[in-house]
Chain A
Amino acid sequence: MAEDLIFAKNEIRFLRELVRHKVDFMIIGLSAAALQGAPVVTQDVDLWFADLAAPQLTKVLNKVKSIYIPPMGNNPPMFAGDGVKLFDIVMHVHGLGEYAQVKKQAIKISLGDFKVPVLPLELIIKSKQAAGRAKDKLVLPVLKDALKTIKSEQH
């Protein structure tokens, strides 16, 4: 039963409100890869924001009864509250440059009645290659194979 609750109403509502309130963000990492069809597994949905202090983001968090927790010690900033637990805040993405430049290349993916900006698979691969951690190296072949398959399907 718990499986049915993963990424359900509350999480979708949070993303919908981000889009509705025109918060400048995009989904990155393996969640973004999964949305595009890559057969990967992930524990969280990584979000990259243009400005974590944006008033619109605060409005959305209030609306979904959640809060922003700034970085403490070695811990990155995070959200707290039902419906936002699955989301991680990412401050920097390896190998891709500034947010504004990367955002121009984001693709829109439909989540039913709204679309979310998502980092394209090509750039996810580039960032994993740049990060070069053991877990990134493990998933790279899967991402590359998925990219070839998806491109073939698009032609």
Chain B
Amino acid sequence: MRISLEAIKNKCRQQNITLTELLKQAGVSRNAFYTLARVDFVLPKSIKAIAERLNISPSEFLTEDDRELEKMKLLLKKADDLAGKYKNTDQDNIRHTLLLLQEPPIERLRRALIRGRRPDIRQE
């Protein structure tokens, strides 16, 4: 598992920055980057050993929880900001709306219907 220079350059083109600008903004030196780019396996050796023992690619057991966490942190920060901006709003409503906006419209409707048609346990 190695760094794909081509993939990084493509991403840079999509985001309209040069590789040099990317490294500068990311705080990574050119030396460090090109050293990493030459390595055949950039993950720790223990990961390689586990993957080899299981005869699978490390990508099959590596997750991106951090990315999810970062996304959620951003969303909660936005909810805080909006609640601060609009007085007398309920932060739960704002947070739930922001979460729903990440779903396609059909899923938003399904959620509303599933909850709406669930038997009300308080009446049982």
Contact = CB atoms under 8 A, between A and B. Distances in A.
Interface string B84-124: 01100110011011111100111011111111110000000
Interface in A44-83: 45
A41 B97 contact: no
A144 B104 CA distance: 21
A142 interface: yes
B82 interface: yes
Contacts of B112: 30-31, 34, 40-42
Contact of B113 (A12, A39, A42, A146): A42
Contacts, number: 88
A110 B113 contact: no
Nearest to B110: A7
Interface string A103-123: 000000111100000000000
A153 to B, nearest CB: 6
Q: Give the interface SS of chain B, mostly helix, strand, loop or mixed.
A: helix
Given A30-B112, A38-B100, A43-B117, A145 B93 contact: yes
A3 B108 CA distance: 13
B82 A35 contact: no
B89 A6 contact: no
Given A37-B108, A41-B116, A153 B90 contact: no
B97 A34 contact: no
A129 interface: no
Contact of A7 (B93, B99, B109, B115): B109
